Amino acid sequence: MTYGVKKGYQSLRLRPLMTGLVLAAALAGPMMGSARAQQLQQPEQGNGLSVKQGVEAHRMMVAAANPYAVRAGYDVLKRGGTAMDAAVAVQMMLNLVEPQSSGIGGGAFLVYWDAKTRRMTTYDGRETAPLALKPDVFLAADGKEKEFFDAVAHGTAVGTPGTVRVLDTAQQAHGRLPWASLFEPVIAQAREGFLVSPRLTAAIADAKAKGMGRFPETAALYLTPSGDPLPAGSKLKNPAFADSLEKVAKERSAGFYQGPLADAVVSAVQAAGGVLTKADLLGYEAKERPPVCVRYRVYDVCGMGPPSSGGMTVGMILKMLERYDLKAMGPSPAALHLFAEASKIAFADRNTYMGDADFVDVPMGLLDEGYLADRGAMIDPGKALAPVQAGNPPRKRADFAADTNLGRPGTSHIVIADSYGNMLSMTTTIEAGFGSRVLAGGFLLNNEMTDFAFTPTKDGKPVANAIAPGKRPRSSMAPTIVLKDGQPILVVGSPGGSQIIGYVARTIVGVLDWGMTPQAAIDMGHVINRNGKVTDLEKGSSVEALKADFEARGHEVRISDLNSGLHAIQINRTGGKVTLVGGADPRREGIVLGE
Residues catalogued as catalytic? 411
Supply the Cα-derived Rg of the chain in whole angstroms: 22
Quick one: which of 462, 469, 492 has its CA closest to 310? 492
d(Cα 72, Cα 77) in Å, to the nearest integer? Answer: 9
311 CB neighbour count, 10 Å cutoff: 28
- Provide DSSP, 159-203: PBP-HHHHHHHHHHHH--S-GGGGGHHHHHHHHH-EEPPHHHHHH
Element (H, E) at 466: none
Side-chain-side CA neighbours of 407 within 13 Å: the count stands at 29
d(Cα 425, Cα 113) in Å, to the nearest integer? Answer: 9
Amino acid at 426: M
- CB-based burial label for 574 (10 Å; 0-12, 13-18, 19+): exposed
Is 195 in contact with 143 (CB distance < 8 Å)?
A: no
- Pairing verdict, β 487-493 and 480-484: antiparallel
d(Cα 522, Cα 456) in Å, to the nearest integer? Answer: 37
Length of the chain (residues): 595
* Residue 541 DSSP symbol: S
Amino acid at 307: P
On the question of a cis peptide bond just before residue 135, with omega within 30 degrees of 0, the verdict is: no
Phi and psi (nearest 5°) for 189?
-65, -40
